[in-house]
Every structure is written in structure tokens, then in C-alpha cells.
Amino acid sequence: METTMGPPPNVGGRVVPLNASPDIPVYIYATVFASFCVITGLIWDICWHMSIGRDGLLSPPHLVIYLGAVVAGLFSGFEILRKTFWGNDLEKAASVKIWGFFYSSLGSLFCVWGALAMLTSAPFDDWWHNTYGLDVTILSPPHTVLILGIIGIQFGAMISVIAVKNQLKLRSTQFFDKKKALDKTLFWLFALSAGFLLTIWYTLLSEELGRMRMHRSSLYIFSSAAFPVLLMAVGKAVRHKWAITAATGIYTLLMLLTLWIIPLFPAEPKLGPILNHIDHYQGFQFPLLLIIPAIAIDFLRHRYGYMNDWKLTALLGAAFLLVFFLFQWFFGSFLMESPYARNWFFGSHYWYFGNSPDWEYRYKFGPWMVETTPELLKGLGIALIASLISTRIGLAWGNWMHKIQR
Amino acid sequence: MKNFVLTILFLAVCMTAKAHVGSAGVQMQGQAGPYKVLVSVEPPDVIPGTAKITVYIESGNAKKVLARPIYFYSGDKGAPSPDELAQIAGQTGQFQGVVWLMEWGSSSAQIQIEGDQGKGELIVPIVAVSTAERDMPKHLGIGLSILGVLLFLLMITTIGASVSDGILKPGETLTAAQKRKRWINMGIATILCSLILYGGSSWWDSWAAEYKQWLYRPVKGSAAILQPNDKRVFQLKVDTTGWHAQRRGSMLSTLIPDHGKLMHTFLVRTPGLDAFAHIHPERKDSTTFEAFLPKLPAGKYLVYSDIVQRSGFAETIVDTIDIPEQASAGRPLPVTAEEDTYVVTDPINAPGNVPLDENVVICGKPGTKTVFKDGSYAVWEGMPNKPLDAGKPYQLTFEFFNPDGSACYPEPYLGMTGHVAVVRSDGSVYIHLHPTGTFAMAAEQTFRDRMADTARTAKAPAPAMFRDSIDRYLAKLKAMPMEEREIFLMTEMGMYDIKDGAMTGMDHGNRISFPYSFPKAGRYRIFLQLKRNAKVLTGVYDVKVKDAVTL
């Protein structure tokens, strides 16, 4: 009998079975920790500017941010070099190859990019201050480079976790219990990294999202454009019923803890004019009630998960705006006007030292901050369109993240 | 009159802020309670920025020196708590630190000293304006460009990897279609990143344009000589074009007098710097100032006019002017203010070449005796023919003698023991100094008043009303006899105690010091003005300044 050995069938590559005992690499913890450092450092830095006003390159909040950059950069950079020079074939097979030479995970690439961008921003910012003055603006070109770097690190952390989580599915089932436990850990690492990313997203736009604007449609337009994209992506990236709620919960918790803890420490303004004398840190803002639309979306996702992305877009995009608007509008009235909001819990009494504490609109919506009903409705219409577009992009982005393997 | 002579030099301010011509830095010699100090301030050339402060304790033993910035707008109540200045290692009695100047405009540094003789304080006015336009240093530009290119390439590569092998299971390899997709996505990423970079660069440009709009622009004025009825009248019209946009608004209505005069104008004949006048133009309308011209010879003159705003913000208006010959000499010329004065001397490049005139002095040098027209003389303590170093704080110290060689105590001239005008040979540096403060005296007074005022923010006055009140005050001053006016001015500046009928805390002598730091190398001419027997005397000295040698 003649047997012929033909070439193996062309299947477009081969899948390497992963039989080794699964574990979460250390650099995953390191990058999530780095992501935590950069965002808490940033919030602390904002409180520092609201309370003390001036700082130096090596101020404590800056050091926390740099720590995040260094940890993310070093761990990810080392991971890339290790895989490139000392990695085994299996590790290389589970990596992306760039510039024809380096082996890396996608997350590490983003982290290294972020750390490099943060590094670039330091001398740029220093020169900027000497040239155009010491700005205390969140968004200046060098600060933007810094924040892009921070986002790079945080995004890298999230991607790294997803890749490991997705790889876990490929592993053999012989370690079932351990796998399950690992999957749970990875889900929480993912929720943390997504929550940190959401927090910076919020922080970036925080000047537009303050309590004074909660009766203006602009707040809902900004929110609808900015948040669904990330929330939907989070929901799609991992299979978990409460993924979005978990990420917004982390955001809410981080915002609340910083709001409650930072003002416990003494601080005094060091820049004139000082119209409002304080002796402790001023807190950042009470979080937006994103967690409520998040619960609604998670519920709808779970209930109508079979729909295609276009139908989901209409459902989830509209639901986000509706639920968010309803709750945030009334909560805005409370935060702004109620004496019960002027305490450590809600923090409405925190006030920039350069502003007069006797300002008549400190606890009342200024006339320029409220709109007529037609103006508001028009604004909400724009917000709805923004929410739908943002949702659709978010779903597509989430689909991609769900596929990340390396 | 001699009894009125000032001696204690509390706040010898020589403001050489950027709003002044060519001089950087502020030197102040003064008395902070029991301590005699020299304060040197380098204001930032970009606002917001930090001013570097050096305090030299000249007498007393200070343990701690504190500094804090006080802005006119927010005053004492709105100023931050002080920071301690660090003691300079190895230099006893020298302290250094910074104060943060966040606001554009009139500012100050309050210095507090604690030591074995108790506490003392003084306040140094600072004009906080952005004056510098910087380019990026080459090495930084190259470094940032390399990092930028790396970031750009890495981002595109990462995006490429994100849509290709990043979503393959371990071990899978890219198909041709996936490879194509990667290239397409990298192309899109390149376009997007380029657009982002373009947007960023436009943003940067707009930032730079915005900054340029807020760069300090000196007040412009045009000087002219009017000749009504054969008299020569100096006129300065202030150009207010674009003031609304610069938020200068009604600034000219809120000028305040500095030791009794709303404007001090110095005329210096160029190129020889051989004729000099110190006159005091009066306000004719909101933008026009006029004064009769003394008997200056004809020629081209540099014009420097000092003004101070209510907030203590001091500026100099610069122009040049051609002064024609006096048509009919002989009869006495009218004067605007009794204190107006002039002098003629030898040109800076042709020593000894002095015209014959009734008001002539011979130019001297450090260490030489310069004889005034009444036979009295002053000696500048210093080594003759030894150039001074640029950027180094000096005490320009003069000793004043009667014709018989006995010590002569200068009489107050506009409430000061003396005035000095320093001009560089090309006119690019000019400063008006006093031992007790010049316009900074008014600025210092402004800040003292502001600190006593507990209002958290300074209210802007009604311009027309403010201007009227100042005009009435000036008319009242002008109507006083000279002696009474001098007492009045000194009392106002806190240097004369009515109860005692004498100068307070005299350290009375015939030596007068003017702290100054020459900003750059060159030839400088110093016009020293003193008063004796109710006559203003002007002495002229030349000095060479060289770039400081750093070891």
C-alpha cells in the first residue's frame, strides 16, 4: 500500500497548547499598581493645587505619579527585554513582534509608550514654565503629553490584564479550580484598571463636569460623548454580568476615598491672592453618579445581549443618557444647594483659596449655568446623538479588546 | 535746613525692575527694625514665576530670615505665609530663597528678620511683568525631537500590532490578509497621529501668540518742544493706542506722585551725555504732560520719564527729542517747579572739552573730587580707573564737602538726601536711584498702606475723582514754601517725626550711598544731585563696567 505523506494542511498557523500551571505574571500586578499610582497622584496633585497652589518638580503628588511611570516603564520594559533576549519559544509565540526584533505583550507596549511620553513631558514642561510662566492649568501642551502618557500606562494595564485573562481560556482544564480563582482575580484586576482609566477620563474633563454645571446640557453632552465609549468597551471586553458596574464602582470608590482621606491632612495656600483661608486640603469632587446608569446598562446588556451591536447601541446609548440625566440632575441640585451636602461626605463646601468664600453663587446655580427648557432639550438632543456615537464606538472597541490574546 | 538732612536710609530702594530701562534686578538697602540689610531681588522675566531674593545682613545678628510675596490686589490679608530663606553656606549673614509671583503687575516681597535684637521687617516693591521671549535650547529641542519621533513610531507600531498579531492566539501566525490589514491600519494611524501632532503644534502656536500678547510693552510717549512766545516748553504726550486691549484702561488717571512729583523727566544729550536736566512735567490733560525747559543747549536728547501707578507699578517712558536753540537768551526763563535743574559737562568721549556756561561741571571718576558750581565738592569713594563688574551689587558712595573741606550735610531735595541718574553711553540703560527710594519710595509707601488696609481685595477708584484728588494734592504741595514742602514730603514718607521736629533715628552724615548693580558691561555716566543752600547741585562721574569674570 502506497502511502503518501503530503504537506500539512495550511491552517494559517498553529495554536500552541498551554499546559503549564497558570499564574498571573508579576508585571500584571505592577502595571495595575502603576495605574493606581498615576491616578491617585493626579487627584492628590489637583487637591494640592486647590489647597496649596504652588509646587515643585518633586512635590509628593508628583513623586507618586512618577512612581507609577517608573514602575510601569521598568516592569514593562524589563518584560520586553526578558522576552526578547531570554524568553522561551512559548513566550515568544504568545507575544507580538515589533520592528522585527522585540517580543512584547500589547499592554507592555502601551505602558512603555506611556512611560516614555511621561518622561518626555518632564523637560518639556520645565521649559514651558520658564517660557510661558508657571501654569496651573490642567491642559497645557506639556501636561497633555503627560496625561496621554498616563492614559497610555492605564490603558496598557487594562490590555495586559485582558490578554492574560483571554490566554487563561486556552489553558488546559486540569487546574480547574485554580483557573477559576485566577479568572476571578483577573476580573478584579481588570475592573481596577478599567476604573482607574475611567477616573482619569473623568479627571481630564472635570473642569466641565463640576457641580455648578449640573443643570446645563453641556455637562450631559460632555458626559455622553466621553463615558459610554469606555463603559461599553469595558462591558464587551470581558464576559461578566456586572463588568461595567464593577469598573464604575472602582471609579466611585476611588473618588470617594480620595475625597474623604486627602482633606484629613493639613495644607495651607502658598500663593496669593488668598481670599479663602484654609488649613486643610480641599477635596476634589464628589463622583458623578455613573454607577447608576452602569447598573442599568449591565442589566440591559444581560437581558438583551443577543441583539446585534447596532440595536444595542440604540438601547444602551439612550439608556445611559436617560438614567444618568435623571439622577445627576436632581443630585446636582442637592450638591449645589442643600446644606446637607456641605460636609466631608459630599464635599460641597470645598472651595479654591483664590475665590471669595462669600461669592453669591457659591451655593446656588448662577443664571448663566441654567438654561431655558428649549435650550436644555436641544442640548439633551445633542447629548443623545453623542451618546449613541460614543456607545457604538465603545462596542466596537470592546469587541477588539475581547479578542486580545497577547 | 541741614537739620532736615536725612540720614537713616530705611528703604533705600533702587528699583531696577524690568519696567525700567535696561536694568534687571532690584537692590534695596534699608533698615529692617534693628538690622541694616541689603536686599537684592532678581525678578522673573516670565510671570508667573519665582523671584530670587538674597538678603545680606549688614548689621546685627540674624538667625532667621523669612520672605513672602504681597500683591497689591490682595494685600496683607490675601498673602501667603512666609517661607524661610536658606542661609548661604560659608557666608555669615547671607540668606537666599525665592518668592512666587503669580500675578502680573504690582507686587512686593516682605522680608522678616528674626535675631538676637528681636524682629524687623521691610518691604521691597517688585514690578512683576513678563519680558522674555525664549527659544528652545538646541540640545533640548534635539532631545525632545528624538523622543517625539520614537513615540510617534512606537504608537504606530503598537496600533499595527493591536489589530494584527495582538489578537492571534499564541503560536498563530499572520495570514497575508492580516498583514495587509496591519499595514492599512498603520497607514491610518500615521495619518491620525500626524493630524494630532499638527493640532498640537497649532495649539502651541496659539499659546505662544497669547503669551506674546501679554508680554510687557513699555508705555510709549512722544516728546516735543513747543515754543510759545520764545519760551521752550517740553511736552510729553502718552500714546494710549491699544490700551483697552492691554487692560491698561484709565491707568493715567490713577498715577500717584513719587516724592511730590507726578512725573520725573530726565533729558540727556546724546551722544556725548554732556547735557542733563531733571524736570517735573505737570499734567495738562489726561495724556499730556508739560514743563518749561531750562537753559539746555540745543541738540538731540534722550528722554526718560518716570511714572508710578496707584498700585505701585512703576514705569519709564522713553523717547528722543531734538531741542532747538533758545531764541532769546538773557531774560530769566520761567520754571515749572522750583526743583527743576540742569547741568552741562564734558562729553563722555572727549574729557575736558567743556563749553563755557553758567551751569557747568567737570566730569569726574571714582575717587576723584568733583567740584560743583558753588565751590563745594563731592568725592566718589572708589578706585579710580578700576572698572566695576556687571551684575554685582555695589554701593555707589559719595562724600560731600563744603568749599573749605568741612563735611557738608546735604539738604533734602524732594524729600531725599540725593538723587542719582545712571545712563549707559548708548542710552540702553537708565535708572533713577535714591538712597531712600525713588518711585519705589511711592511703591513702598503704597504697599505699606495696602498692608495696613484689611480689605481683602483692592477696589479700583473712580478714575476722574482719583485724578482730581491727586491734582489738588499737587497744587497744594506746589503752593507750599520749599522748606515746608520738604518737611511735608519727608513726614509723608515716614522719615520725619513731627513730634520731635527732626528726622527720626538719624545716622546723619555727609556720606550718601546708592545701591546699584550695573546690568551689563559698558561706559556709564552717573549724574549725582545734591542740595546745598537751597540750590540743587549736579555732579557728573564716569565709570567703566566690565563683564564679571566668573572663576
Task: Check: CB of residue B414 under 8 Å from CB of residue B259.
Answer: yes
> Is residue B100 less than 8 Å (CB to CB) from chain A?
yes
Residue of A nearest to B83 (CA): A270
What is the spatial distance between Cα B438 and Cα B434, in angstroms, rounded to a whole number? 5
Can you say how many angstroms the Cα of residue B274 is from the centroid of all Cα atoms in its chain?
A: 24
Q: Is A335 helix (H, G, I), strand (E, B) or coil?
A: helix
Can you give the pLDDT at residue A152? 93
Residue with the three cell numbers 495644607: A267
Q: How far apart are CA B402 and CA A186, in angstroms?
A: 94
Task: Work out the pLDDT band at B11, boundaries 50, 70, 90.
Answer: very low
Q: Which of B104, B159, B168, B185 to mutate to test the interface with A (most CBs of A within 10 A)?
A: B168
Of B191, B190, B193, the residue nearest B201 (C-alpha)? B193
Facing B136 at nearest CB: one of A14, A18, A127: A127
Q: Name the minimum distance, in Å, from the CA of B148 to any CA of chain A.
A: 8
Q: How confident is the prediction along chain A (406 residues), in pLDDT tens digits per residue? A: 445 555 544 444 445 555 555 578 888 899 999 999 999 999 999 999 999 988 877 889 989 999 999 999 999 999 899 989 988 888 888 888 888 888 888 889 999 999 999 989 888 888 888 888 766 566 788 888 998 999 999 999 899 999 888 888 777 666 777 888 888 999 999 999 999 999 999 998 998 999 999 999 999 999 999 999 999 999 999 888 999 999 999 999 999 999 999 999 999 998 878 889 899 999 999 999 999 999 999 999 999 988 899 999 999 999 999 999 999 999 999 999 999 999 999 999 999 998 989 899 999 999 999 899 999 999 999 999 999 999 999 999 999 999 888 8
Nearest CA in chain B to A145: B200
Whether residues B170 and A15 touch (CB distance < 8 A) is answered with yes
Q: What is the pLDDT of residues B120-130, one digit of tens each?
A: 888 888 888 88
Q: Do A97 and B165 touch (CB under 8 A)?
A: yes
Which residues is B100 bridged to in the sheet?
A: B50
Q: Shortest CB distance from A406 goes to which of B80, B83, B165? A: B165
Cα nearest neighbour of A13 on chain B = B172
Determine the pLDDT at residue B151: 93
Q: What is the mean pLDDT of chain B?
A: 82
Q: Which residues of A touch B48 (CB under 8 A)?
A: 133-136
The answer to ipTM > 0.90 is no
To the nearest whole Å, the CA of B178 is away from the closest chain A CA by: 10
Do residue B165 and residue A167 have CB atoms under 8 angstroms apart?
Answer: no
DSSP-derived secondary structure for B285-311: ETTEEEEE--SPPSEEEEEEEEEEETT
Q: Number of A:B CB contacts under 8 A?
A: 161
Query: Which alpha helices (DSSP H) does A171-215 contain, by range?
Result: 176-205
> Can you tell me whether residue B62 is helix, strand or coil?
strand
- Which 479-498 residues of chain B touch chain A by CB within 8 A? none
Minimum Cα–Cα distance from B203: chain A residue: A141
Cis amide bond preceding A293, omega within 30: no
Neighbours of B479 (CB within 10 A): 9
- Closest CA of chain B from A275, distance in Å: 6
Residue B455, pLDDT score: 78
Residue B6: pLDDT band with limits 50, 70, 90: very low
Q: Do B74 and A119 touch (CB under 8 A)?
A: no
CA distance, residue A101 to nearest chain B CA (Å): 12
Higher pLDDT, B385 or B348: B348
> Searching chain A, which residue's CA lies closest to the CA of residue B456?
A275
- Check whether B404 has a pLDDT greater than 70: yes
Nearest beta carbon to residue A132 from set B78, B81, B211? B211
Which residues in chain B touch residue A69, judged by CB atoms under 8 angstroms apart? none
B499 at interface of A, judged by CB pairs closer than 8 A: no
Amino acid in the structure at residue B301: Y
B68: nearest Cα among B122, B120, B32: B122
Q: Which residue of A has its CA nearest to B72?
A: A273
Calculate how close chain A gets to B134, using CA atoms only, in Å. 6
* Cα–Cα distance for residue pair B31/B55, rounded to 1 Å: 12
Contact A269, A48 (CB under 8 A): no
Q: What is the mean pLDDT of residues B326-338?
A: 76
Quick check: B286 pLDDT over 90?
Answer: no
Residue B175 contacts A, CB cutoff 8 Å: yes
Nearest residue of A to residue B158, measured between CA atoms: A109
Residues of A in contact with B144 (CB under 8 A): 120, 123-124
Q: Which residues of B touch A404 (CB under 8 A)?
A: 162, 166-167
> In angstroms, rounded to a whole number, what is the distance separating the alpha carbons of residues B542 and B385?
10
Nearest CA in chain B to A100: B157
Paired sense of beta strands B94-101 and B49-59, if any: antiparallel
Radius of gyration in angstroms for the set of CA atoms belonging to chain A, rounded to a whole number: 24
Name the minimum distance, in Å, from the CA of B287 to any CA of chain A.
32
Q: Which residues of A touch B206 (CB under 8 A)?
A: none
Question: Minimum mean pLDDT among A267-281, B19-33, B89-103: which range?
Answer: B19-33
* Contact (CB<8Å) B457/A273: yes
- Do the Cβ atoms of A113 and B154 come within 8 Å? yes
Q: Identify the CA nearest to B63 among candidates B89, B85, B30.
A: B85
Of A14, A129, A356, the CB nearest to B171: A14
At B419, give phi and psi (nearest 5°): -130, 150
More confident residue, B198 or B349: B198
A97–B74 CB contact, under 8 Å: no
A90 CB neighbours in chain B (<8 A) are 170
Region B367-379 average pLDDT? 85
Does residue B176 surpass a pLDDT of 90? no
What is the average pLDDT across B294-311?
89
In this prediction, residue B356 carries a pLDDT of: 67
A358 φ/ψ sector (left φ>0, alpha ψ -120 to 50, else beta):
alpha
Cβ of B99 under 8 Å from any chain A Cβ? Answer: no
Q: Which residues of B touch A131 (CB under 8 A)?
A: 46, 132, 134, 136, 211
Best B167, B174, B206, B213 member to test A by mutation, with max A CBs in 10 Å, is B167
Which tens digits make up the pLDDT trace of B481-535?
888 888 888 877 766 554 444 444 334 578 888 888 888 889 999 999 988 888 8
Cβ contact (<8 Å) for A106 and B456? no
Pairing mode, if any, of strands B535-546 and B388-389? parallel
Mean pLDDT of B29-52: 84
Q: Determine contact, residues B234/B293, Cβ cutoff 8 Å.
A: yes
Q: How far apart are CA A376 and CA B400, in angstroms?
A: 79
What's the burial of B118, exposed, middle or buried (CB within 10 Å: 0-12/13-18/19+)?
A: exposed
User: Which residues in chain A are contacts of B189 at CB distance < 8 A?
Assistant: none
CA distance B100 to A51: 16
What is the SS3 assignment for B417-447?
A: CCEEEEEECCCCCEEEECCCCCHHHHHHHHH
State how far the Cα of B451 lies from the Cα of B458, in Å rounded to an integer: 11
Q: Indicate the pLDDT class of residue B383, thresholds 50, 70 and 90.
A: confident
B residues 198-217 lying closer than 8 A (beta carbon) to A:
200, 203-204, 207-208, 211
A98 phi, psi to nearest 5 deg: -120, 150
Residue B456 to residue A275, Cβ atoms within 8 A: yes
Contact yes or no for B48 and A134 at CB 8 A:
yes
Closest residue on chain A to B162 (Cα) = A106
User: A-chain residues within 8 Å CB-CB of B140?
Assistant: 123, 127
